[in-house]
Amino acid sequence: MNKALFAALLVAPVVMLSAAHGQTYQWKDSSGKTVISDSPPPGSAKASRSIGAKQPAVVTGSAETESEKGKTEKAAASAPQTIAEKELEFRKRQQESREKAEKEEKEAAAAREKRDTCERARNNYRLLQSDTPLSQPNGQGRLQTMDAAKRSQELERTRRIMQEACK
Protein backbone atom coordinates (compact mmCIF):
# COMPACT_ATOMS: atom_id res chain seq x y z
CA MET A 1 0.00 0.00 0.00
CA ASN A 2 2.83 2.39 0.76
CA LYS A 3 4.24 1.80 -2.73
CA ALA A 4 0.90 2.61 -4.37
CA LEU A 5 0.54 5.79 -2.31
CA PHE A 6 4.10 6.79 -3.09
CA ALA A 7 3.56 6.18 -6.82
CA ALA A 8 0.32 8.22 -6.75
CA LEU A 9 2.10 11.11 -5.05
CA LEU A 10 4.79 11.08 -7.75
CA VAL A 11 2.36 10.85 -10.68
CA ALA A 12 -0.17 13.44 -9.40
CA PRO A 13 2.10 16.55 -9.86
CA VAL A 14 3.02 15.44 -13.37
CA VAL A 15 -0.65 15.09 -14.34
CA MET A 16 -1.53 18.42 -12.76
CA LEU A 17 1.33 20.21 -14.56
CA SER A 18 0.29 18.86 -17.94
CA ALA A 19 -3.28 20.05 -17.32
CA ALA A 20 -2.01 23.49 -16.28
CA HIS A 21 -0.28 23.92 -19.64
CA GLY A 22 -3.45 23.16 -21.56
CA GLN A 23 -5.52 25.93 -23.11
CA THR A 24 -8.95 26.59 -21.63
CA TYR A 25 -11.66 28.48 -23.54
CA GLN A 26 -14.87 30.10 -22.37
CA TRP A 27 -17.68 31.22 -24.70
CA LYS A 28 -21.40 31.67 -24.97
CA ASP A 29 -23.19 29.35 -27.35
CA SER A 30 -26.13 30.23 -29.60
CA SER A 31 -28.66 29.65 -26.80
CA GLY A 32 -26.75 32.01 -24.45
CA LYS A 33 -25.24 29.34 -22.17
CA THR A 34 -21.66 29.74 -20.98
CA VAL A 35 -19.42 26.89 -22.13
CA ILE A 36 -15.96 26.16 -20.72
CA SER A 37 -13.82 23.70 -22.68
CA ASP A 38 -10.27 22.81 -23.64
CA SER A 39 -11.18 22.91 -27.33
CA PRO A 40 -11.54 26.22 -29.20
CA PRO A 41 -15.06 27.60 -29.65
CA PRO A 42 -16.95 26.97 -32.88
CA GLY A 43 -17.32 29.77 -35.41
CA SER A 44 -20.93 30.35 -34.33
CA ALA A 45 -19.91 31.38 -30.79
CA LYS A 46 -21.05 34.93 -29.96
CA ALA A 47 -18.12 35.94 -27.75
CA SER A 48 -15.16 33.95 -26.54
CA ARG A 49 -12.13 34.36 -24.37
CA SER A 50 -9.13 32.31 -23.49
CA ILE A 51 -8.62 31.46 -19.84
CA GLY A 52 -5.11 31.00 -18.48
CA ALA A 53 -3.23 32.19 -21.56
CA LYS A 54 -1.53 35.40 -22.64
CA GLN A 55 -4.02 36.27 -25.37
CA PRO A 56 -6.50 39.11 -25.62
CA ALA A 57 -9.14 38.70 -22.93
CA VAL A 58 -12.19 39.03 -25.15
CA VAL A 59 -12.54 38.24 -28.83
CA THR A 60 -15.86 39.11 -30.41
CA GLY A 61 -16.54 37.52 -33.75
CA SER A 62 -13.76 37.65 -36.32
CA ALA A 63 -13.30 41.44 -36.38
CA GLU A 64 -10.25 42.70 -34.51
CA THR A 65 -10.36 45.90 -32.52
CA GLU A 66 -7.66 48.55 -32.90
CA SER A 67 -5.99 47.53 -29.62
CA GLU A 68 -5.90 43.88 -30.69
CA LYS A 69 -4.37 44.87 -34.03
CA GLY A 70 -1.74 46.85 -32.14
CA LYS A 71 -0.99 43.86 -29.91
CA THR A 72 -0.75 41.59 -32.94
CA GLU A 73 1.63 44.01 -34.68
CA LYS A 74 3.75 44.31 -31.52
CA ALA A 75 3.91 40.54 -31.22
CA ALA A 76 4.97 40.27 -34.85
CA ALA A 77 7.58 42.99 -34.33
CA SER A 78 9.01 41.25 -31.27
CA ALA A 79 9.24 37.89 -33.05
CA PRO A 80 12.78 36.86 -34.02
CA GLN A 81 13.77 38.13 -37.45
CA THR A 82 15.85 36.40 -40.06
CA ILE A 83 19.08 37.95 -41.24
CA ALA A 84 17.45 38.89 -44.55
CA GLU A 85 14.63 40.70 -42.73
CA LYS A 86 17.12 42.55 -40.53
CA GLU A 87 19.15 43.54 -43.61
CA LEU A 88 16.00 44.73 -45.39
CA GLU A 89 14.95 46.85 -42.40
CA PHE A 90 18.48 48.27 -42.11
CA ARG A 91 18.53 49.27 -45.79
CA LYS A 92 15.05 50.77 -45.45
CA ARG A 93 16.16 52.87 -42.46
CA GLN A 94 19.28 53.98 -44.38
CA GLN A 95 17.18 55.04 -47.39
CA GLU A 96 14.72 56.93 -45.16
CA SER A 97 17.63 58.66 -43.42
CA ARG A 98 19.17 59.71 -46.76
CA GLU A 99 15.82 61.01 -48.03
CA LYS A 100 15.26 62.94 -44.82
CA ALA A 101 18.74 64.50 -44.98
CA GLU A 102 18.24 65.48 -48.64
CA LYS A 103 14.86 67.02 -47.87
CA GLU A 104 16.27 68.99 -44.94
CA GLU A 105 19.18 70.21 -47.10
CA LYS A 106 16.79 71.36 -49.85
CA GLU A 107 14.62 73.17 -47.31
CA ALA A 108 17.68 74.83 -45.77
CA ALA A 109 18.95 75.92 -49.21
CA ALA A 110 15.51 77.32 -50.10
CA ALA A 111 15.40 79.22 -46.78
CA ARG A 112 18.90 80.66 -47.41
CA GLU A 113 17.91 81.72 -50.93
CA LYS A 114 14.74 83.37 -49.63
CA ARG A 115 16.70 85.26 -46.94
CA ASP A 116 19.24 86.44 -49.53
CA THR A 117 16.49 87.58 -51.91
CA CYS A 118 14.77 89.44 -49.10
CA GLU A 119 17.96 91.18 -48.04
CA ARG A 120 18.80 92.22 -51.64
CA ALA A 121 15.24 93.50 -52.15
CA ARG A 122 15.41 95.56 -48.95
CA ASN A 123 18.74 97.07 -49.98
CA ASN A 124 17.39 97.91 -53.44
CA TYR A 125 14.25 99.42 -51.92
CA ARG A 126 16.30 101.67 -49.61
CA LEU A 127 18.48 102.72 -52.53
CA LEU A 128 15.48 103.46 -54.75
CA GLN A 129 13.89 105.58 -52.01
CA SER A 130 17.01 107.69 -51.59
CA ASP A 131 17.66 110.79 -53.68
CA THR A 132 20.82 109.30 -55.15
CA PRO A 133 20.86 109.39 -58.93
CA LEU A 134 20.70 105.81 -60.27
CA SER A 135 21.44 104.36 -63.65
CA GLN A 136 20.79 101.00 -65.24
CA PRO A 137 21.90 99.35 -68.46
CA ASN A 138 19.77 99.94 -71.50
CA GLY A 139 19.28 97.36 -74.25
CA GLN A 140 22.52 98.37 -76.01
CA GLY A 141 24.82 97.79 -73.04
CA ARG A 142 25.16 101.47 -72.04
CA LEU A 143 24.10 102.94 -68.71
CA GLN A 144 21.05 105.19 -68.67
CA THR A 145 20.00 107.40 -65.74
CA MET A 146 16.67 106.46 -64.15
CA ASP A 147 13.91 109.01 -64.35
CA ALA A 148 11.09 109.35 -61.75
CA ALA A 149 8.67 107.07 -63.65
CA LYS A 150 11.23 104.29 -64.01
CA ARG A 151 12.20 104.70 -60.34
CA SER A 152 8.56 104.32 -59.22
CA GLN A 153 8.17 101.20 -61.41
CA GLU A 154 11.28 99.67 -59.82
CA LEU A 155 10.04 100.62 -56.33
CA GLU A 156 6.75 98.82 -56.98
CA ARG A 157 8.52 95.73 -58.41
CA THR A 158 10.91 95.65 -55.43
CA ARG A 159 8.00 96.01 -52.99
CA ARG A 160 6.29 92.93 -54.56
CA ILE A 161 9.52 90.96 -54.32
CA MET A 162 9.86 91.93 -50.65
CA GLN A 163 6.28 90.85 -49.94
CA GLU A 164 7.01 87.41 -51.34
CA ALA A 165 10.54 86.88 -50.04
CA CYS A 166 10.32 88.51 -46.61
CA LYS A 167 7.38 86.55 -45.20
The 10s digit of each residue's pLDDT in 1-30 is 677 777 777 767 766 665 555 677 787 887
* Residue ranges of E strands in 4-156: 24-28, 34-37, 47-51, 59-60, 135-137, 143-145
Q: Which amino acid is at 72?
A: T
pLDDT in tens, 37-56: 777 787 766 666 666 655 44
Give every residue of the chain whose pLDDT is below 50, as ranges. 55-57, 61-63
Residue 64 and residue 127: Cα distance in Å, rounded?
A: 69
Whether pTM exceeds 0.95: no
What are the beta bridge partners of residue 135? 145
Q: What was the pLDDT predicted at 123?
A: 94
Residue 118 and residue 108: Cα distance in Å, rounded?
A: 15
